[in-house]
Amino acid sequence: MAWYSQFLQRPALDWWDLLDIGIVSIVIYELLKLIRGTRAMQLAVGIALVVGLFYLSLGLQLETLNWVIRNITGYLVFAAIVLLQADIRRALTHLGRARWLRRFERQQADDDAIDELLVAVRRLAAQKVGALIIIERRIGVRNFIESGIPLDARLTYDLLIAIFQPASPLHDGAVIVQGDRVAAAACFLPLSVNPRLSRDLGSRHRAALGVTEENDAVAVVVSEQTGGMSIVLDGEIERHVSEDQLRQRLRTLVTVRSNWLSRMASRGEV
Protein backbone atom coordinates (compact mmCIF):
# COMPACT_ATOMS: atom_id res chain seq x y z
CA MET A 1 0.00 0.00 0.00
CA ALA A 2 2.89 2.37 0.73
CA TRP A 3 4.28 1.79 -2.78
CA TYR A 4 0.86 2.40 -4.29
CA SER A 5 0.45 5.65 -2.38
CA GLN A 6 3.90 6.81 -3.46
CA PHE A 7 3.05 6.04 -7.09
CA LEU A 8 -0.12 8.15 -6.92
CA GLN A 9 1.82 11.09 -5.45
CA ARG A 10 4.22 11.35 -8.41
CA PRO A 11 4.32 14.73 -10.23
CA ALA A 12 2.26 15.25 -13.38
CA LEU A 13 3.74 14.49 -16.79
CA ASP A 14 4.96 17.39 -18.94
CA TRP A 15 5.79 17.58 -22.65
CA TRP A 16 9.41 16.47 -22.14
CA ASP A 17 8.24 13.35 -20.31
CA LEU A 18 5.85 12.52 -23.13
CA LEU A 19 8.64 13.04 -25.69
CA ASP A 20 10.92 10.77 -23.67
CA ILE A 21 8.27 8.05 -23.50
CA GLY A 22 7.55 8.40 -27.21
CA ILE A 23 11.20 8.01 -28.21
CA VAL A 24 11.64 4.94 -26.01
CA SER A 25 8.45 3.43 -27.44
CA ILE A 26 9.66 3.94 -31.01
CA VAL A 27 13.06 2.39 -30.20
CA ILE A 28 11.42 -0.66 -28.62
CA TYR A 29 9.05 -1.02 -31.58
CA GLU A 30 11.90 -0.87 -34.11
CA LEU A 31 13.92 -3.41 -32.12
CA LEU A 32 10.97 -5.80 -32.06
CA LYS A 33 10.62 -5.41 -35.85
CA LEU A 34 14.30 -6.23 -36.32
CA ILE A 35 14.28 -9.38 -34.20
CA ARG A 36 10.89 -10.70 -35.37
CA GLY A 37 11.32 -14.15 -36.90
CA THR A 38 14.96 -14.51 -35.77
CA ARG A 39 16.75 -16.30 -32.97
CA ALA A 40 16.95 -13.00 -31.10
CA MET A 41 13.19 -13.14 -30.54
CA GLN A 42 13.57 -16.27 -28.44
CA LEU A 43 16.38 -14.59 -26.51
CA ALA A 44 14.19 -11.54 -25.87
CA VAL A 45 11.50 -13.78 -24.41
CA GLY A 46 14.11 -15.42 -22.17
CA ILE A 47 15.41 -12.02 -21.00
CA ALA A 48 11.87 -10.89 -20.22
CA LEU A 49 11.38 -14.05 -18.16
CA VAL A 50 14.61 -13.47 -16.21
CA VAL A 51 13.66 -9.84 -15.53
CA GLY A 52 10.24 -10.95 -14.34
CA LEU A 53 11.80 -13.50 -11.99
CA PHE A 54 14.18 -10.86 -10.66
CA TYR A 55 11.38 -8.49 -9.64
CA LEU A 56 9.34 -11.40 -8.34
CA SER A 57 12.24 -12.39 -6.08
CA LEU A 58 12.45 -8.81 -4.81
CA GLY A 59 8.75 -8.60 -4.08
CA LEU A 60 8.52 -12.00 -2.39
CA GLN A 61 11.96 -11.67 -0.73
CA LEU A 62 13.32 -14.82 -2.36
CA GLU A 63 16.96 -14.18 -1.49
CA THR A 64 18.42 -17.29 -3.11
CA LEU A 65 16.68 -16.72 -6.44
CA ASN A 66 17.65 -13.05 -6.37
CA TRP A 67 21.30 -13.92 -5.69
CA VAL A 68 21.41 -16.43 -8.55
CA ILE A 69 19.92 -13.99 -11.07
CA ARG A 70 22.27 -11.15 -10.03
CA ASN A 71 25.34 -13.37 -10.40
CA ILE A 72 24.52 -14.91 -13.80
CA THR A 73 23.35 -11.71 -15.51
CA GLY A 74 26.86 -10.69 -16.59
CA TYR A 75 27.58 -14.08 -18.13
CA LEU A 76 24.25 -14.06 -19.97
CA VAL A 77 25.11 -10.72 -21.60
CA PHE A 78 28.43 -12.03 -22.96
CA ALA A 79 26.77 -15.25 -24.14
CA ALA A 80 24.09 -13.26 -25.98
CA ILE A 81 26.70 -11.13 -27.76
CA VAL A 82 28.59 -14.22 -28.94
CA LEU A 83 25.53 -16.17 -30.06
CA LEU A 84 23.77 -13.27 -31.75
CA GLN A 85 26.68 -11.41 -33.32
CA ALA A 86 25.21 -11.82 -36.83
CA ASP A 87 21.83 -10.45 -35.71
CA ILE A 88 23.49 -7.53 -33.92
CA ARG A 89 25.57 -6.72 -37.00
CA ARG A 90 22.48 -6.85 -39.20
CA ALA A 91 20.56 -4.55 -36.83
CA LEU A 92 23.35 -1.96 -36.76
CA THR A 93 23.67 -2.12 -40.53
CA HIS A 94 19.92 -1.60 -40.89
CA LEU A 95 20.17 1.44 -38.61
CA GLY A 96 23.06 2.87 -40.62
CA ARG A 97 21.19 2.70 -43.93
CA ALA A 98 18.10 4.57 -42.79
CA ARG A 99 16.26 6.33 -45.59
CA TRP A 100 16.81 9.83 -44.21
CA LEU A 101 20.59 9.31 -44.33
CA ARG A 102 20.49 8.66 -48.09
CA ARG A 103 19.53 12.28 -48.75
CA PHE A 104 23.09 13.36 -47.98
CA GLU A 105 24.54 11.26 -50.79
CA ARG A 106 25.23 12.32 -54.37
CA GLN A 107 25.20 9.34 -56.67
CA GLN A 108 24.78 8.77 -60.38
CA ALA A 109 23.38 5.72 -62.14
CA ASP A 110 25.69 3.74 -64.43
CA ASP A 111 23.35 2.86 -67.31
CA ASP A 112 26.03 1.20 -69.45
CA ALA A 113 26.97 -1.29 -66.73
CA ILE A 114 23.30 -2.03 -66.05
CA ASP A 115 22.62 -2.67 -69.73
CA GLU A 116 25.57 -5.08 -69.98
CA LEU A 117 24.38 -6.92 -66.89
CA LEU A 118 20.79 -7.14 -68.15
CA VAL A 119 21.80 -8.61 -71.51
CA ALA A 120 23.92 -11.25 -69.75
CA VAL A 121 21.17 -12.11 -67.26
CA ARG A 122 18.63 -12.46 -70.07
CA ARG A 123 20.92 -14.85 -71.95
CA LEU A 124 21.65 -16.92 -68.82
CA ALA A 125 17.93 -17.12 -68.00
CA ALA A 126 17.10 -18.29 -71.53
CA GLN A 127 19.71 -21.05 -71.27
CA LYS A 128 18.69 -21.91 -67.66
CA VAL A 129 22.23 -21.30 -66.42
CA GLY A 130 22.32 -20.50 -62.71
CA ALA A 131 23.90 -17.19 -61.74
CA LEU A 132 24.31 -14.98 -58.68
CA ILE A 133 25.45 -11.36 -59.06
CA ILE A 134 25.98 -9.05 -56.08
CA ILE A 135 26.06 -5.31 -56.81
CA GLU A 136 27.77 -3.16 -54.19
CA ARG A 137 26.06 0.04 -53.07
CA ARG A 138 26.99 2.21 -50.07
CA ILE A 139 28.33 -0.47 -47.72
CA GLY A 140 31.56 -2.16 -48.80
CA VAL A 141 31.72 -5.90 -49.49
CA ARG A 142 35.49 -6.40 -49.31
CA ASN A 143 35.16 -9.33 -46.88
CA PHE A 144 33.13 -11.21 -49.51
CA ILE A 145 35.47 -10.19 -52.33
CA GLU A 146 38.43 -11.67 -50.48
CA SER A 147 36.66 -15.04 -50.31
CA GLY A 148 36.67 -15.37 -54.12
CA ILE A 149 38.97 -14.95 -57.11
CA PRO A 150 39.90 -11.27 -57.72
CA LEU A 151 39.32 -10.11 -61.30
CA ASP A 152 39.10 -6.30 -61.34
CA ALA A 153 37.76 -6.33 -64.91
CA ARG A 154 35.29 -4.10 -66.69
CA LEU A 155 31.71 -5.37 -66.49
CA THR A 156 30.74 -6.74 -69.88
CA TYR A 157 28.22 -9.20 -71.24
CA ASP A 158 30.93 -11.56 -72.52
CA LEU A 159 32.71 -11.69 -69.17
CA LEU A 160 29.57 -12.60 -67.20
CA ILE A 161 28.56 -15.26 -69.72
CA ALA A 162 32.05 -16.79 -69.59
CA ILE A 163 32.10 -16.83 -65.78
CA PHE A 164 28.76 -18.59 -65.32
CA GLN A 165 29.17 -21.27 -67.97
CA PRO A 166 28.96 -24.69 -66.23
CA ALA A 167 32.36 -25.67 -67.63
CA SER A 168 34.01 -22.58 -66.13
CA PRO A 169 35.96 -23.07 -62.88
CA LEU A 170 34.44 -19.78 -61.64
CA HIS A 171 30.76 -20.62 -62.13
CA ASP A 172 30.23 -21.75 -58.53
CA GLY A 173 29.75 -18.88 -56.14
CA ALA A 174 28.84 -15.25 -56.69
CA VAL A 175 30.14 -12.45 -58.88
CA ILE A 176 30.59 -9.14 -57.05
CA VAL A 177 30.24 -5.91 -59.01
CA GLN A 178 31.66 -2.56 -57.87
CA GLY A 179 30.53 0.33 -60.03
CA ASP A 180 31.23 -0.68 -63.63
CA ARG A 181 33.77 -3.37 -62.76
CA VAL A 182 33.64 -7.04 -61.77
CA ALA A 183 35.66 -7.13 -58.56
CA ALA A 184 35.71 -10.90 -58.00
CA ALA A 185 34.08 -14.20 -58.96
CA ALA A 186 33.46 -17.51 -57.20
CA CYS A 187 32.81 -15.67 -53.93
CA PHE A 188 31.35 -17.46 -50.92
CA LEU A 189 28.40 -15.80 -49.22
CA PRO A 190 26.56 -16.52 -45.95
CA LEU A 191 23.30 -18.41 -46.33
CA SER A 192 20.17 -16.97 -44.79
CA VAL A 193 18.85 -18.83 -41.74
CA ASN A 194 15.42 -17.19 -41.86
CA PRO A 195 12.95 -19.98 -40.93
CA ARG A 196 10.15 -18.31 -42.91
CA LEU A 197 11.80 -18.83 -46.29
CA SER A 198 10.15 -21.06 -48.85
CA ARG A 199 11.66 -24.52 -49.06
CA ASP A 200 11.92 -24.40 -52.82
CA LEU A 201 14.61 -21.70 -52.62
CA GLY A 202 18.03 -23.08 -53.53
CA SER A 203 21.46 -22.18 -52.24
CA ARG A 204 21.86 -19.25 -54.67
CA HIS A 205 18.68 -17.59 -53.47
CA ARG A 206 19.54 -18.22 -49.82
CA ALA A 207 23.02 -16.79 -50.34
CA ALA A 208 21.50 -13.69 -51.96
CA LEU A 209 19.16 -13.28 -49.00
CA GLY A 210 21.98 -13.89 -46.53
CA VAL A 211 24.25 -11.18 -47.93
CA THR A 212 21.46 -8.60 -48.29
CA GLU A 213 20.34 -9.20 -44.70
CA GLU A 214 23.76 -7.94 -43.55
CA ASN A 215 24.45 -5.44 -46.33
CA ASP A 216 22.66 -2.91 -48.52
CA ALA A 217 23.86 -4.61 -51.71
CA VAL A 218 21.48 -5.68 -54.48
CA ALA A 219 21.52 -9.31 -55.61
CA VAL A 220 20.36 -10.63 -58.98
CA VAL A 221 19.68 -14.38 -59.16
CA VAL A 222 19.00 -16.65 -62.14
CA SER A 223 17.43 -19.97 -61.25
CA GLU A 224 19.07 -23.04 -62.76
CA GLN A 225 15.84 -25.06 -62.57
CA THR A 226 13.33 -22.59 -64.01
CA GLY A 227 15.44 -19.87 -65.60
CA GLY A 228 13.47 -17.31 -63.59
CA MET A 229 15.08 -14.02 -62.63
CA SER A 230 14.91 -12.64 -59.09
CA ILE A 231 16.10 -9.48 -57.37
CA VAL A 232 16.94 -9.38 -53.67
CA LEU A 233 17.26 -6.32 -51.42
CA ASP A 234 17.23 -5.91 -47.62
CA GLY A 235 16.57 -9.61 -47.12
CA GLU A 236 13.43 -9.50 -49.30
CA ILE A 237 13.18 -11.35 -52.61
CA GLU A 238 11.13 -10.54 -55.72
CA ARG A 239 10.86 -13.70 -57.78
CA HIS A 240 10.06 -14.24 -61.45
CA VAL A 241 10.57 -10.61 -62.43
CA SER A 242 10.54 -9.67 -66.09
CA GLU A 243 13.45 -8.03 -67.89
CA ASP A 244 11.68 -4.67 -67.90
CA GLN A 245 10.94 -4.91 -64.19
CA LEU A 246 14.54 -5.87 -63.47
CA ARG A 247 15.83 -2.94 -65.54
CA GLN A 248 13.58 -0.48 -63.76
CA ARG A 249 14.50 -1.79 -60.31
CA LEU A 250 18.24 -1.74 -61.01
CA ARG A 251 18.19 1.77 -62.45
CA THR A 252 16.36 2.91 -59.34
CA LEU A 253 18.54 1.08 -56.82
CA VAL A 254 21.99 0.68 -58.28
CA THR A 255 24.22 3.72 -58.17
CA VAL A 256 27.93 4.32 -58.49
CA ARG A 257 30.19 6.64 -56.58
CA SER A 258 32.09 9.59 -57.92
CA ASN A 259 34.74 8.92 -60.57
CA TRP A 260 37.71 9.27 -58.26
CA LEU A 261 36.19 6.92 -55.70
CA SER A 262 35.37 4.36 -58.41
CA ARG A 263 38.99 4.42 -59.57
CA MET A 264 40.16 3.84 -56.01
CA ALA A 265 37.73 0.91 -55.68
CA SER A 266 39.03 -0.60 -58.92
CA ARG A 267 42.57 -0.46 -57.51
CA GLY A 268 41.46 -2.03 -54.23
CA GLU A 269 42.21 1.06 -52.13
CA VAL A 270 38.75 1.30 -50.60
Q: Are residues 126 and 260 in the same domain?
A: yes
Residue 267 has pLDDT above 50, yes or no: no
CATH of the domain at 171: 3.40.1700.10
What percentage of residues in the chain have a pLDDT greater than 70? 76
Q: Are residues 45 and 127 in the same domain?
A: no
User: Would you say residue 204 lies in a domain?
Assistant: yes
Q: Are residues 60 and 175 in the same domain?
A: no
Q: Domain total for the chain?
A: 2
Q: Are residues 77 and 116 in the same domain?
A: no
Looking at 83, 115, 143, the residue that finishes a domain is: 83
User: Would you say residue 174 lies in a domain?
Assistant: yes
Looking at 83, 115, 145, the residue that finishes a domain is: 83
User: Would you say residue 154 lies in a domain?
Assistant: yes
pTM over 0.85: no
Give the tens place of pLDDT for each residue, 154-167.
999 999 999 999 88
Q: Are residues 55 and 161 in the same domain?
A: no
Give the tens place of pLDDT for each residue, 51-88.
888 888 888 888 888 888 888 877 777 777 776 666 66
Q: According to the 3-state scheme, what is the secondary structure of the chain?
A: CHHHHHHHCCCCCCHHHHHHHHHHHHHHHHHHHHHCCCHHHHHHHHHHHHHHHHHHHHHCCCHHHHHHHHHHHHHHHHHHHHHCHHHHHHHHHHHHCCHHHHHHCCCECCHHHHHHHHHHHHHHHHCCCCEEEEECCCCCCHHHHCCCEEEEEECCHHHHHHHHCCCCCCCCCEEEEECCEEEEEEECCCCCCCCCCCCCCCHHHHHHHHHHHHCCCEEEEECCCCCCEEEEECCEEECCCCHHHHHHHHHHHCCECCHHHHHHHHCCCC
Structural domain range at position 33: 2-83
Q: Are residues 73 and 131 in the same domain?
A: no
